[in-house]
Amino acid sequence: MRTIEFDVRSQRNQRPQWVNNLEKNWFRILILAVALHVFFNKDISIQFNMNAAGQVGEALVIQPVSYEKNQQQKVSVTPVSKRSSSHKEKKKTVPPEANNFSNLGFILNPDYARRKKIDRRIVQQKLENCQAYIKAYEPIARKEREKYDIPVSITLAQGLLESNAGDSRLAKESNNHFGIKCRTKCLGCTCRNYSDDDIYDMFRVFESTWESFREHSILLSGNRYKHLKKLPARDYKNWAHGLKKAGYATDKRYAEKLIRIIEELDLDRFDRVG
């Protein structure tokens, strides 16, 4: 046994010193090689969990991130609470009292906002609601004109006025944008009464807004209003007065309101096209 042990030691002494060092420290060299690989090919991203108070939480997550991705998108360390607050500051806010005003109120009374010093953000929001309604339903009104010869300006103005630009209960709950009441003999249709109306006033319920526009066109094509189609397509003023005279609404200013809506929102531009 002593002879064999002596031979092994003799062989080790005869090998170069670096070979002996490599044999003794091979594990450390392996670890060092792995560390160098990670260092040159990976970057480290540190993410902090933020609690509700905006302080750094206890959890600390370390994730490897590819070097190329990190070069394309620099990581900024910003508390979540600060990002959220800055986003809210950029977002346009409308005062809560905006709900107290009709979408058409400032159009029908242009001087009201100035006299009452109404926040301009409220006025702007109401105008945007009307513009959104026009954008959404102008294509339907145009199709109805092609089929029933009703001016687009009249259809949109009535829809805006009767539904408060789509925000009335009748429009939201029943898809009824024109205040269309139930037929004398309610057969094949669904009707509903609202507490702010007469107990005998039953309003049509439609499955879609399009059905409401189509029923409006059919209504204006009936005996009560069909004489209006003899008017020029761009004569929205006489259309408005004709609707009031034929009894479409009981509001004494109904024709005046329709005309103001058309002129303030330039709805007659759609009558000049096609």
Question: Which pLDDT does position 28 carry in this prediction?
Answer: 75
Angle between helices 209-220 and 152-163 (to 10 degrees): 120
Pairing, β 56-66 against β 190-192? unpaired
- CB burial readout 209-222, b (16+ within 10 A) else e: beebbbbbbebbbe
d(CA 18, CA 64) in angstroms, rounded, equals 35
Question: Which pLDDT does position 117 carry in this prediction?
Answer: 94
Positive or negative, the CA dihedral 82, 83, 86, 92 is negative
Q: Is 96 exposed, middle or buried (0-12, 13-18, 19+ CB in 10 A)?
A: exposed
In this structure, are residues 65 and 44 in contact, taking their beta carbons and an 8 Å threshold?
A: yes
In this structure, are residues 234 and 162 in contact, taking their beta carbons and an 8 Å threshold?
A: no
- The domains of the chain are located at 2-88, 99-270
In this structure, are residues 250 and 122 in contact, taking their beta carbons and an 8 Å threshold?
A: no
- Where is 114: in which H helix or E strand? helix 112-115
Taking alpha carbons only, the member of 144, 104, 97 closest to residue 122 is: 97
d(CA 229, CA 200) in angstroms, rounded, equals 31
The pTM of the full predicted model, rounded to 2 decimals, is: 0.65
In this structure, are residues 176 and 193 in contact, taking their beta carbons and an 8 Å threshold?
A: no
In this structure, are residues 104 and 160 in contact, taking their beta carbons and an 8 Å threshold?
A: yes
Task: Express each pLDDT in 120-159 by its tens digit.
Answer: 999 999 999 999 999 999 999 999 999 999 999 999 999 9
pLDDT greater than 70 at residue 243? yes
Tell me the two tokens of residue 169: 């209960």
Task: Express each pLDDT in 247-269 by its tens digit.
Answer: 999 999 999 999 999 999 999 99
Sequence-ordered list of residues with C-beta below 8 angstroms from that of 129, at least 6 positions apart, any chain: 103, 165, 166, 167
Can you say how many angstroms the Cα of residue 160 is from the centroid of all Cα atoms in its chain?
Answer: 20
pLDDT greater than 50 at residue 56? no
Sequence-ordered list of residues with C-beta below 8 angstroms from that of 142, at least 6 positions apart, any chain: 152, 270, 274
Higher pLDDT: 6 or 115? It is 115
Sequence-ordered list of residues with C-beta below 8 angstroms from that of 50, at least 6 positions apart, any chain: 56, 57, 79, 80, 81
In this structure, are residues 137 and 159 in contact, taking their beta carbons and an 8 Å threshold?
A: yes
Higher pLDDT: 158 or 90? It is 158
How many CB atoms are located within 10 Å of the residue 193 CB?
13
Top-level CATH class of 99-270? mainly alpha
Question: Which pLDDT does position 186 carry in this prediction?
Answer: 61
Query: For 158-186, what is the mean pLDDT?
Result: 91
Helix (H, G, I), strand (E, B) or coil at 234: coil
